[in-house]
Chains A and B, each alone.
Chain A
Amino acid sequence: MSAIQANPQPAVFEEQAALIGADAERPKPRRSGRLNRSNLIAYVMLSPMVVLLGIFVWYPLANSVYLSLFEISFYEDPTFVGLQFYEYVLTAAKFWNSIWVGITLVLLVVPAQLIVAFLVASLLRVLSRHTSGFLKTTIYVPTVVSFVVASIIFVFIYRERGGLLNGVLGWFGIEPIAVLSNPDLALGGIAVPALWIGVGVTTLIMLAGMLDIPDSYYEAADLEGAGYFQKTWYITLPLLKNVWLFLLVTLVTATIQQFELPLVMTQGGPYESTTTPNLYIFNQFKDPTPYATSFSLTAALLLFVVLGTISALIFRFVKSDKAIDG
Chain B
Amino acid sequence: MHKRHTKTVTALAAVVAAGLALSGCTAGGDGNTTADGKTEVIFWQQKFEDYQQAWFKEQVDAYNASQDEVKVTYQVVPADTWDQKLKAAQAAGNAPDVATTSYGRIMPGVAIGQFAPLDELVDPDVLDDIQPNVREFVSTADGTFAYPFLVEPSTVLFYRTDLFAAAGLDPASPPTSWAELVDAARALTKDGVYGMNIAQTAADLGWSSWGLQYNAAGHLPVADDWSAADATDPAYIELAEFYRTLYGEKLMPQEAAYPYADCAPYGEGQVAMTACGSWAIGQLTNDYPDMIPNTAVAAFPSIDGDPTKPTSTLGGWTLTVDGKSKVQQEGADFIAWLLGGETEHLVDFFKTSGYSKYPARVSVSEALSADPEASANPFMQTVSEDIVPFSKAEPTYPWEIALSFATAIEKSMRGEDIQASLETANSEIDDIIEKQKLAGTAPEAG
A interface residue numbers (CB < 8 A to B): 44, 47-48, 51-52, 55-56, 73-76, 88, 159-161, 176, 178, 180-183, 267, 269-272, 282, 285-293
Contacts and interface: CB of A to CB of B under 8 A. Distances in A.
A267 B398 CA distance: 19
A33 to B, nearest CB: 11
Given A285-B87, A287-B400, A181 B12 contact: no
Interface of B: 8, 11-12, 15-16, 19-20, 22-23, 83-84, 86-87, 90-91, 93, 95, 105, 108-109, 112-114, 200-203, 253-257, 270, 323-324, 398-400, 407, 410-411, 414, 435-436
Nearest to B406: A271
Contacts, number: 103
A293 B255 contact: no
Nearest to B8: A44
A261 to B, nearest CB: 16
Contacts of B15: 47-48, 51-52
A292 B91 CA distance: 13
Contact of B201 (A73, A267, A292): A267
Given A160-B254, A183-B414, 11 more contacts: A44-B8, A47-B11, A48-B15, A51-B16, A75-B323, A159-B255, A178-B255, A181-B254, A270-B410, A285-B87, A288-B114
A269 B257 CA distance: 13
B91 A271 contact: no
Nearest to A176: B254
A27 B20 CA distance: 48
A270 B421 CA distance: 14
Given A74-B91, A270-B414, A288-B108, A181 B83 contact: no
13 contacts: A52-B15, A55-B20, A56-B22, A75-B90, A160-B253, A178-B254, A181-B255, A181-B256, A285-B87, A289-B108, A290-B112, A292-B400, A293-B87
A317 B93 CA distance: 46
Given A44-B11, A286-B84, A55 B203 contact: no
Contacts of B86: 288
Contact of B87 (A47, A183, A271, A288): A288
A269 B8 CA distance: 54
Which residue among B105, B253, B256 has the maximum number of chain A CB atoms within 10 Å of its CB?
B256
B83 A288 contact: yes
B200 A282 contact: no
Contacts of B105: 288
B23 A51 contact: no
